[in-house]
Structure 1
């Protein structure tokens, strides 16, 4: 994936526009209050519309958890290890950026501000001051961006780009549907996810931090990791029993089988 940094320009322009919008409609209020107030009506509107499909929203929002979404790419440990090199680098960068910004802005979640009876909450009620940016949206767009550029078709590139962008936003906005985030949390988080992934891909092209993934001698380690990973997903199935967990588990099991088969053939 040989990408140019100019791909980051639209994302930074979007963040700049959001900042300018915030400045214009701030009206001198406290930044936290202003941030929440300028999107309050949109939050209630989207939450009301999206929460009409609670099962769909609750399943989609699970994809913002790397434990659930990353297994969908686990097969590429075998067939495209460079994808995982970029994926892991991007994930590490995103953890640092997300944790830093959440602590810096300390924006309270919707459930910490609004009457909980005034909007729909699906799943766990989150009341911390960690709303901005949406970590689930960042994680979602790490996967979306990796897939977007790793499997870019030679034809109909614009359609592919639009499809992947819409898919990512549908997943990301489930965070509004379940009442966990404001719309701008999601938009900013998605944009950050895209940015850190482009940077992660660029870094992986220069420095092979996870070159060990290519070495089949390390497959027993991957087999152990995938087995432990599967255990955690099984635990989630026991706790919540959501269809998306079964699909994620299936992806891991298939990868585990293929890695085991490849390793056995190599050693025989």
Structure 2
């Protein structure tokens, strides 16, 4: 699997940035033509669409509650921990991509300062599932950025060679990304364009992580056995944080992430103590 990831990553070119940049240009043009560069107009042009999708998606509160957690870095990265053993090159790129996505997310949220739906819309006009957010940090969606950052790295790392399997793989990953990202609208935390822009930025972050790791591979130690103890301690800490989350919100997705952490930690311990 690691050889497949290395081979696929070597095929990633700078031209891969053209599509997401084009999509961002289209969104920017749409906002410009609708005079929606101000916070008020940005919200008003998509208020009806937000309420429409929110009311329909919120009819599935259990799914929305679980899907939206996949935008939490702890949850989705925990599900990927097993790849450290069999495809460490994927994790090398994931680390870079995650750092880039975190930087872009925090910077853009401070720059745009768009009020969250709960901070400006009528309370009885839409549904809030779980925690209500009232800050001025709606754009872009951090969950969508995180989700598409990880999915982009996985998409390109595990890309099949067969053209038909490749199409199925692309449709599967993109479909999952759209579905899970839209859960942010379903729980009433973000507008549609927050999710769209966040998804595009996540794609850019994923590609950036792959490209940067090719020229600045400082995480190559992550798959070495002598550093397993560090990973074991890290995963144990993550497990405790996850258990704390489970005590607050008993969601199924937490169990999958915790199971992944336990399995990976067990294998790491077993390999570490084996001479």
Q: TM-score, normalised by structure 2?
A: 0.94
Q: Once superposed, what is the RMSD of the aligned Cα atoms?
A: 1.0
SS at match of 1:220: helix
Runs of 4+ in 1 over 4 A off after TM superposition: none
Deviations 1:215-237 (A, max 9, x none): 21010010000000000001111
Question: Deviation at 1:205?
Answer: 1.1
Instruction: Give unpaired runs (5+ residues) of structure 2.
Output: 1-8
1:173 aligns with 2:154: no
Q: Matched residues in 2 for 1:250 and 1:214: separation?
A: 21
* Residue 213, structure 1, aligned to residue 209, structure 2: no
1:103 aligns with 2:79: no
Superposition deviation, residue 116 in structure 1: 1.4
Query: Pick from 252, 259, 267: which aligns with 2:261?
Result: 252
Q: CA deviation at 1:159?
A: 2.0
How many angstroms apart in 2 are the aligned matches of 1:99 and 1:225? 24
Distance apart, 1:30 and its partner CA: 6.3
Alpha-carbon distance between aligned partners in 2 of 1:224 and 1:71, rounded to the nearest angstrom: 14
The answer for the alignment partner of 1:70 in structure 2 is 77
Q: Residue 189 of structure 1: which of 179, 191, 198 is its match?
A: 198
1:201 matched to which residue of 2? Answer: 210
Residue deviations 1:105-140 (CA, integer Å, cap 9, x gap): 000000001011110000001000000000000000
CA distance in 2, matches of 1:163, 1:254: 25
- CA displacement 1:177-221 (0-9 Å, x = unmatched): 000000000000000000011011001111112122022101001
* CA offset digits 1:74-106 (Å, max 9, x no partner): 011111111111001111111111111000000
The residue number in structure 2 matching 1:163 is 172
- After TM superposition, give the deviation of residue 164 of structure 1 in Å: 0.5
Structure 2 residue 252 is the aligned partner of structure 1 residue 243? yes
**CA distance in 1: counterparts of 2:273 and 2:149, whole angstroms:** 32
1:8 is displaced (CA, Å) by 1.6
Residue of structure 1 equivalent to 2:4: none
Alpha carbons 2:49, 2:192 under 8 Å: kept? yes
Structure 1 residues 128-137 or 33-42, which shifts more? Answer: 33-42
Could you list the per-position Cα deviations for residues 124-162 of structure 1 after superposition, in whole angstroms to 9, with x for gaps in the alignment? 010000000000000000111111011111122122111
Structure 2 residue aligned with 1:92, among 99, 102, 108?
99
TM-score (norm 1): 0.96
Report the number of matched residues: 264
Say whether 1:127 aligns with 2:134: yes
Name the counterpart of 1:49.
Answer: 56
**Structure 1 equivalent of residue 242 of structure 2:** 233
Q: Is the 8 A contact 2:31 2:37 kept in 1?
A: no
Q: Does 1:224 align with 2:233?
A: yes
Give the match's secondary structure for 1:179.
Answer: coil
- C-alpha distance in 2 between matches for 1:194 and 1:143: 9
What is the alpha-carbon distance in structure 2 between the residues aligned to residue 207 and residue 42 of structure 1? 43
SS state at 2:134 partner: coil
